[in-house]
């Protein structure tokens, strides 16, 4: 059962600024690649199995890393405030740097790296108020705008949920945002769009299983499936967003 953290982070009312991103859907609509429900399903499925799998895997790996403590195995996962966060938290900052670098290396599009970090930055303010922890400080020490999957995964791990919950939350967010954007961009029936989203359940289960398995292995071996057209579109969208009126940032 998912705990409160993954429910809160996946809630569209969570004040993290995720609603300004369409995950490439706006550009796909502008190019005529997605015109209605018939194309929306394949778009979302492709997104989930590529960008979604990467995000879910890194969230799961962050959830594994976040509660680690020196000495005894973490029996309780309550975040503890230490007088000196860096030494007492016992967090290996290099592991967070490694996750950050490996996720950067799997995100060849600067527009997508920026979208991920913008959402991380937006989420950071909200989660620091709710789940203060030196772990978040360690993550921010690596980069002031942490990648969203790493931050969300760390919070879910700190709150006591495991990598599977982190993967499910972030995998779901990889498609729920674009699905909701589809309602606004194409004027689709919200009930039908919701049904399309729900039909991705089996794919999401696969993503969660793959992500959870990978999260316990070496960071270098985390999945890296590419989404070529999504990458192309992200750059065109960024240019269009700068020059013309667009509804979404990405």
Partner 1 sequence: MRARASLTVERDPDGRSSVRELRSQSPLALVPRRGTAAGRDPAVTVHLVGSASTPLAGDDVELDVRVGPGADLVLTGVAAAVALPGTDRPSRLTVRVDVGEGASLQYLPEPTVITARADHRTLLSATMGPGARLRCRDVLVAGRSGERAGRYAGTTRVCDGSRVLLVQTQELGDAVLQGSPAHLAGRRVLGTEFLVWDADPQVASAGDWWSLTPLAHRGSLATAVGPDAVSTRRDLDAALLAHPGWAAHAVGG
- Footprint of partner 1 (CB under 8 A): 24, 28, 33-34, 39, 42-47, 49-51, 101-102, 104-111, 113, 220, 223-232, 235-236, 238-239
Q: Provide the minimum distance between the beta carbon of 62 and partner 1 in the complex, in angstroms, as a whole number.
A: 17
Closest to partner 1 by CB, 8 or 230: 230
Q: Provide the minimum distance between the beta carbon of 198 and partner 1 in the complex, in angstroms, as a whole number.
A: 17
Q: Provide the minimum distance between the beta carbon of 190 and partner 1 in the complex, in angstroms, as a whole number.
A: 21
Taking each helix axis from N to C terminus, what angle separates 163-186 and 148-158, rounded to the nearest 10 degrees? 130
Cβ count near 129 (within 10 Å): 9
Q: How far apart are CA 81 and CA 93, in angstroms?
A: 17
Closest to partner 1 by CB, 14 or 58: 58
Q: Provide the minimum distance between the beta carbon of 12 and partner 1 in the complex, in angstroms, as a whole number.
A: 21
Closest to partner 1 by CB, 81 or 239: 239
Q: Provide the minimum distance between the beta carbon of 238 and partner 1 in the complex, in angstroms, as a whole number.
A: 7
Q: Provide the minimum distance between the beta carbon of 120 and partner 1 in the complex, in angstroms, as a whole number.
A: 14
CA 144 to chain centre: 17
Q: Are 56 and 149 in contact (CB under 8 A)?
A: yes
Q: Provide the minimum distance between the beta carbon of 135 and partner 1 in the complex, in angstroms, as a whole number.
A: 23
Closest to partner 1 by CB, 127 or 222: 222
Closest to partner 1 by CB, 131 or 172: 172
Q: Is 85 left (phi over 0), alpha (psi -120 to 50) or beta?
A: alpha
Q: Which residues contact 49 (CB under 8 A, 6 or more apart)?
A: 203, 206, 207, 225
Closest to partner 1 by CB, 159 or 204: 204
Closest to partner 1 by CB, 27 or 165: 27
Report in angstroms the alpha-carbon separations of 63 from 60, 71, 167, 225, 244: 5, 19, 9, 21, 39
Q: Are 195 and 44 in contact (CB under 8 A)?
A: no
Q: Which residues contact 76 (CB under 8 A, 6 or more apart)?
A: none
Report in angstroms the alpha-carbon separations of 200 from 48, 129, 196: 9, 33, 7
């Amino acid at each position: 059962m998912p705990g409160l953290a993954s429910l809160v982070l996946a809630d569209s009312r969570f004040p993290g600024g995720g609603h300004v991103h369409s995950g490439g859907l706006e550009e796909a609509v502008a190019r005529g690649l997605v015109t209605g429900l018939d194309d929306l399903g394949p778009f979302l499925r492709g997104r989930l199995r590529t960008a979604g799998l990467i995000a879910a895997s890194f969230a799961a790996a962050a959830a594994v890393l976040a509660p680690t403590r020196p000495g005894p195995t973490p029996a309780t996962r309550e975040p503890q405030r230490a007088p000196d966060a860096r030494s007492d938290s016992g967090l290996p900052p290099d592991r967070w740097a490694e996750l950050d670098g490996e996720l950067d290396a799997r995100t060849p599009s600067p527009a997508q790296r920026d979208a991920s970090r913008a959402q991380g930055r937006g989420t950071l303010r909200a989660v620091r108020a709710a789940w203060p922890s030196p772990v978040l400080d360690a993550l921010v020490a690596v980069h002031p705008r942490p990648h969203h999957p790493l931050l969300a995964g760390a919070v879910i791990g700190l709150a006591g949920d495991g990598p599977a919950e982190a993967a499910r939350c972030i995998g779901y967010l990889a498609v729920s945002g674009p699905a909701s954007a589809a309602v606004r961009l194409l004027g689709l029936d919200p009930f039908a769009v919701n049904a399309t989203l729900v039909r991705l359940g089996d794919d999401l289960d696969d993503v969660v299983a793959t992500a959870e398995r990978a999260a316990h292995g070496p960071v270098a071996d985390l999945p890296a499936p590419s989404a070529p057209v999504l990458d192309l579109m992200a750059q065109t969208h960024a240019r269009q967003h700068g020059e013309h009126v667009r509804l979404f940032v990405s």
